[in-house]
Each structure stands twice: as structure tokens, then as C-alpha cells.
Amino acid sequence: MPWKDVLDALAAIQVLCPDPTPITVETHEAGLMIAEEYRYEIYDALIAAAALQVGCKILFSEDLRDGQVIHDKLTIRNPFK
């Protein structure tokens, strides 16, 4: 992919998500706990941990288990089901 395309994609992401949540040590620790407890891969668990960190109630993902509730706060939903 040419660098111009990468930069254009990044600009589009910055419009859609102007204030991203930083990934902190606490996010990683929570992700590790979620990965172990719910048997998710670490990258999927980090996404769930970040969602919990900002107070999301629903996380749309086709990669995680539809209907799974994490820590009684975050429900996974598959948008394609």
C-alpha cells in the first residue's frame, strides 16, 4: 500500500475517532485477565478491556462470542448474526 493511502486512511480514522483512549498498563493488565478468564486471544481481550475502560455496554465484533457478557458490564454482539 502506498504511504499516501496509509496517510489518507489515518486521516479518515482521526475524523471518526478524534479522541482515542490510550492503551495503558492498566488496560494491558485488564486484557490479560480477560484473556485468561474468557479464553480470548490477547488482542481481542485488549479490545474488550479498552471498551470496559471507557464504559461501553456493547461491543460489536464478529470475532468474539456473540452474547458473551464480560465482567457483568460488557455484552459482545456479532453485527452479522
Q: What confidence tens digit (pLDDT) does each residue in 23-64 have?
A: 999 999 999 999 999 999 999 999 999 999 999 999 999 999
The SS3 call for residue 69 is strand
Report the relative pairing of strands 74-77 and 69-70 from DSSP bridges. Answer: antiparallel
Per-residue pLDDT, 21: 85
Tell me what pLDDT residue 10 has.
Answer: 93
pLDDT at position 1: 84
For 39-61, letters b (16+ CB in 10 Å) and e give ebeeebbbbbbbbbbeeeeebeb
Give the global pTM.
Answer: 0.80
